[in-house]
Chains A and B, each alone.
Chain A
Amino acid sequence: MPVDGRIRAYYWSLRTFLEEKAAILNPEHPDCRFPEDDNQVYYTHYLEGCLVFIDGSRLRFELALGFDEVYNVVEKRYFYGYFNPSGVRRFQYDNSPHHPHLSTFPHHLHKGPVPKKGKDIALDCDLTEVSFFAVVSKIEELLTR
């Protein structure tokens, strides 16, 4: 498959995955955003959106995609913020290179509300690999527990 074809394939794998998770999602919610076609991600390798779950919680995500050494699609730069229905953060995964002291650097996790003052403490990442699939699966686990 041509390299760029993999980006389109990746987009459609996300769409398929979300179809499988229909039971926990509320796609009709006006805040729910996911690119309708694969053009944007194909040309820019950039994907941004917001998923609304059945309990009103939201996952905001923003990804810059690229390839690893064997041309698999990887999330080079990412942000996943999960918020309760009132907009208070529950957790956040990102790979900003701000916490070199962590064993999972640059991948890390923030838990709880964003502090109004002081530092937003970063923790070691608790996922083997942060990805759209892994984060949505984690939320599914929380919702169905």
Chain B
Amino acid sequence: METVLTDTNMTLEELIRRVRQSARPIYVGTDGEIDIVVRSVKRTLEPEQAAAVDTLSNLFHKLQVYEVRYRMDSEVFFYKYENALLDESPDFISWWISYFAFAGALMRYNLTRSDVECQLMAGSERTIGAYAPS
């Protein structure tokens, strides 16, 4: 027997069917619709990515100066400094802090980028996720 939801006249079974359908990725038949989504996401993210790359570049150049000056990779330096194998000089403190920040920023940037790329890839496969109209 069907249970009718009084305020909408929709049956419970119909509601469940709609909820299930809306939570399922759906196939988008036309190129136009999904292209608009992809373009819109890209347009929003491009300035963000450019700003992130700019600020990361500044830190990267700073690390490069130290790497050339002391003929050591930043990663190797960081390991040595964290283990107190190098002196506590002003350059080394600055290099240590800069590398810590750079490594963290790069990790966050790559995580965000891979999230976005997954979304865009999903878009290019002509599927979109939840909240699609039934």
Choice from B55, B84, B102 contacting A98 with Cβ under 8 Å: B84
Residues of chain B lying within 8 A (CB to CB) of residue A94: 88, 93
> How many A residues have CB within 8 A of the partner chain?
24
A58 within 8 A of B: no
Asked whether, in the complex, the Cβ of B84 is within 8 Å of the Cβ of A44, the reply is no
Nearest chain A CB to B50 CB, angstrom units: 11
Q: With A40-B58, A43-B55, A97-B84 given, is the CB distance from A79 to B97 under 8 Å? A: yes
Q: With A97-B82, A98-B88 given, is the CB distance from A44 to B93 under 8 Å? A: no
Interface string of A24-42 (1 = CB under 8 A from B): 0000000000000001100
A138 within 8 A of B: no
Asked whether, in the complex, the Cβ of A64 is within 8 Å of the Cβ of B81, the reply is no
Interface string of B102-126 (1 = CB under 8 A from A): 1011000100000000000000000
Nearest chain A CB to B65 CB, angstrom units: 14
B98 within 8 A of A: yes
Asked whether, in the complex, the Cβ of B93 is within 8 Å of the Cβ of A62, the reply is yes
Asked whether, in the complex, the Cβ of B101 is within 8 Å of the Cβ of A79, the reply is no
SS class of chain B's interface: helix, strand, loop or mixed? helix
Residues of chain B lying within 8 A (CB to CB) of residue A120: 88
A107 within 8 A of B: no
Asked whether, in the complex, the Cβ of B51 is within 8 Å of the Cβ of A44, the reply is no
Asked whether, in the complex, the Cβ of B97 is within 8 Å of the Cβ of A44, the reply is no
Residues of chain A lying within 8 A (CB to CB) of residue B83: 97
Residues of chain B lying within 8 A (CB to CB) of residue A79: 93-94, 97
Choice from A78, A96, A114, A122 contacting B81 with Cβ under 8 Å: A96
Nearest chain B CB to A87 CB, angstrom units: 12
Interface string of A99-138 (1 = CB under 8 A from B): 0100000000000001000001010000000000000000
B38 within 8 A of A: no
A63 within 8 A of B: yes
Asked whether, in the complex, the Cβ of B55 is within 8 Å of the Cβ of A76, the reply is no
Query: In the complex, A122 Cα to B88 Cα: how many Å?
Result: 10
Q: With A77-B96, A96-B93, A120-B88 given, is the CB distance from A46 to B81 under 8 Å? A: no
Instruction: Determine which residue in B58, B93, B102 has the highest number of CB atoms from chain A within 10 A of its CB, and name it.
Output: B93
Apart from A45-B101, A45-B105, A122-B88, what are 8 other A-B pairs with CB-CB below 8 Å? A40-B58, A46-B98, A62-B98, A64-B97, A64-B100, A78-B97, A79-B93, A94-B93
CB-based closest 6 A-B pairs: A46-B101, A64-B101, A43-B55, A44-B105, A64-B100, A77-B97
